[in-house]
Structure 1
Amino acid sequence: MKRRPSTITDIAKALNVSASTVSRALHDSPSISRETKDAVMELAKEMNYQPNMLAVSLLNKKTKTIGVIVPEITSYFFATVVSGVQDMVEEAGFKLIICQSNESYEEEKKLIETLSLGRVDGFLISPSSKTTDFTHLDKLRSSGTPIVVFDRDCTDFEADKVLVDDYDGAFQAVEYLIKTKCRRIAHISGPQNLTTCQHRKKGYLDALCKYGMDVESHLMVEVDGFTSEDGEYPTKRLLDLKNIPDAIFAINDAVAIGAMAIIRERGLRIPEDVSVVGFDDEPYSKYFYPSLTSVWQPVYDLGMLSAKILMNHISNDQDDYEYRYELLKPELMIRNSSRPILKSQ
């Protein structure tokens, strides 16, 4: 027969004291003598007593657990975000439950419902690419559960938010390409329901506008995903044009690398014929040939700051709590896939 876990009542019976005395001894209450405390602690160890954490959390109304929902967990970006979150919460004694929505709105809703039943203290959420309705987040917020939205914004939804300035990163990238004398700059953009993709596209367009360059709609191609394969077909379309682009600014590094493969397949040189710039500055980018120029994001800091804000919100029970909006700055990392700026310019 399977042995049941030892309880406070078992310890109390063995020592011929009340269960409340055992409980106070385990919590080092000053009302209990040192002799009784030592006896309780020794027997608890012998009986392999483990506190019922669910009961403790119900009593304290806190589980010290945070739910983290990301579109996917295998990429460098989200894995690094989670690492930053982990390092921030661990010292404070919080634990994480990490889930991926697989870019599914329905899955995202289910995960929130499931984790809410488990009484997590708060949520860190990066919405899926299919999430356009935030009713499920409204419901969560109305229940009093703190939420921090990170990386991907939820427009018109009020919450703590930690984002990267995607607009500025894209503007930096395209401005640099213009300064290297590129004149037909294409953009492979991502799903436009995502604010990250919207802001990167706007940065691209505004950089062209600042330097008086024409916006050519056939040089802009939107893709549904963020993989290398998603960079191949649009690049084929762009290289089939009568006047091919002399530069491609891609929504992320994976798409940029897919584009580079097709450029080489067509017998063109990078960057002499076509410059390529990505976004994210994935670790592998510097090891490609040629090494990829990309926009670096402070991903680890994104995770740490998001977690810090959430923990502050969890501990703040005031009704007049003010939401925070943090925008972290990216930086262009110039490598060999784009032309250099000539010193005479």
Structure 2
Amino acid sequence: MGRYVVRRLGQLVVVVLGATMVLFACLFVLPGDPVGQIAGSDKARDPAVIEQLHKQYGLDKPLYAQYGMYVGKLAKGDLGQDYTQSRPVTEILGPKLVNTAKLAVTAMVFDIIIGIFAGVVAAMRRYSVWDVSVTFVTTMAIGVPSIVLGMIMQRIFVIQLDWFPLIGDGGVRSMILPALTLAIIDAALVAQLARSTMLEVLRADYVKTAVAKGLSKSTVLFRHILRNSVIPVITYLGISFGVLLGGALITETIFNWDGIGLALITAIQQNNNPIIVGVVTISVAIFVLLNLIVDLLYAALDPRIRLA
């Protein structure tokens, strides 16, 4: 197990380096000067100032040299310097990552409670009114784009009912609505996935044997059915959590939530490459770490899985 973890952490380094290398190459070919936001308007730009800024941020060097400097700083936990604020990227993105993590964890709680509960009840009462209702509602929810869902919820609960603030301030009240917007679609997918996997497990021979042995319904449900049907759900939740931690761009923009998704949109508008590369680096690292955690949960839930 220990060797497996070490190998996966080595893969994390390779994936992060590969992602940042591709991103550096893409940013290099894009038009525009990154220091333009600092220098001011075209008429006010002084060639001497532009040259000085390029030297200050290392933009006068070839792409491979810039990337080498970035990797060297990254090994020390340094994501570079922001162009517009002249502050470390880690100092800027740190509080924003915390805000995004709050939103992601809240959305995950809604996903697990609503999605798994609805899927389990639908599977245990197959073809009932509850099963048909869950299938219909989740299918409708999956088909609604998040931007449409967010705008509808904002209009109803913010503008008309005035239950929640319009601008996210990091508090609990301002967090509920964007978290629900993120959770509704994911919860619908989790419910359908939980229902389908549970229906497969219900037909398994070991479940029929457990029932024939006279075990209680709760024992059969929690020890045999849920434990063996939850692995695909955990896989999806791990990927979804990684997406949320990487920044929910649309939702954070709609609700003006000060997370790394909103920071990425602002950085793209300002041509602020250090913030863009920093957000992507953090997102890739989070994805690989969450995949490792999901794999370890596989072994904990199913002893048959061996991570050799």
Structure richer in helix, relative to its length: 2
TM-score (structure 1 length as normaliser): 0.24
Which one has a larger percent strand, Structure 1 or Structure 2? 1
Q: Give TM-score, length-normalised by structure 2.
A: 0.26
- Larger Rg over CA atoms: 1
Q: Which has the higher contact order (CA 8 A, sep 6+)?
A: 2
